[in-house]
Amino acid sequence: MRFAANLSMMFTERPFLERFGAAAAAGFDAVEFLFPYDVPAERIKAALDGHGLTQALFNLPPGDWAAGERGIASLPGREAEFREGVATAIAYAKALGNRLLHCMAGIPPQGLDREEALAIYTGNLRHAAAACAEAGLTLLVEPINNRDMPGYLMNGTALARRVIGEVGAPNLKLQLDLYHCQISEGDLATRIRDNADLTAHVQIAGVPDRQEPDRGEVHYPYLFEVLVATGYRGFIGCEYRPRARTEDGLGWFRTASKQAAR
């Protein structure tokens, strides 16, 4: 198992570019984050290389995040903007050596029929998957729970499987966030096994408060065993908000890393 520190949530005691060194010092060899677009790609690449880190994942541009947009892939009339965002993300991915891109589905406007939103979404995914394939990249869809993100279109693994099947692109895969999955669906071991054929990235956090994975109702040591048993060899993204200083809550990571090395 390879753990990737999510630098949008972890090590936020420091400015963004200083988080890479902090992650490496804590023992991580990979990182992920939500959006890199406010920082020139060459500066991020220098931080990665300077600390021997692999860039595991980031998201396509989400639209107007400050205004509440959470992706534009299912929003009518935004197709041109979406395609521009795909091109921008691919350019960053090439510069950073990143192989995985997550496409946020978005929160469709009230009054838009759900099936119509899904049709827009799948159409945009077809374009993005084709563009990513040309660049040798994998595109991901991630179910996100509607408690944290009300109205978010992609909200369950069954829907993810449906959409991936309808798009039909071999490089379109599942990003399985076990925090979101526990809130939306539960039965996590079964979800892991049933979706092993499509899963290309996994994320973790404690439930219900999205803190360290060793806090809350989910027993991650068992789920790590399930992941290994299914043959999963991808990254495990640590997308959680530390209770206090990030380094003070990494006991779970040290334990899991030792177990993975056996």
Residue 224 belongs to domain spanning: 2-261
Give tens-digit pLDDT for 198-210.
999 999 999 999 9
Candidates 18, 32, 142, 225; catalytic one: 142
The 3-state secondary structure of the chain reads CEEEEECCCCCCCCCHHHHHHHHHHCCCCEEECCCCCCCCHHHHHHHHHHCCCEEEEEECCCCCHHHCCCCCCCCCCCHHHHHHHHHHHHHHHHHHCCCEEECCCCCCCCCCCHHHHHHHHHHHHHHHHHHHHHCCCEEEECCCCCCCCCCCCCCCHHHHHHHHHHHCCCCEEEEEEHHHHHHHCCCHHHHHHHCCCCEEEEEECCCCCCCCCCCCCCCHHHHHHHHHHCCCCCEEEECCCCCCCHHHHCHHHHHHHHHHHC
Active site residue 18: no
How many helices (H) and strands (E) in the chain?
9, 8
Domain count, the chain: 1
Predicted local distance difference test score (pLDDT) of residue 258: 85
CATH number at residue 52: 3.20.20.150
Active site residue 142: yes
Predicted local distance difference test score (pLDDT) of residue 1: 84
Give tens-digit pLDDT for 74-104.
999 999 999 999 999 999 999 999 999 999 9
Would you say residue 260 has pLDDT above 90? no
Would you say residue 227 has pLDDT above 90? yes
Candidates 84, 115, 134, 239; catalytic one: 239
Label the pairing between strands 30-32 and 54-59. Answer: parallel
- If you search the block for the tokens 């563009």, which residue do you land on? 131
Give tens-digit pLDDT for 107-146.
999 999 999 999 999 999 999 999 999 999 999 999 999 9
C-alpha 184/C-alpha 155 separation (Å) is 7
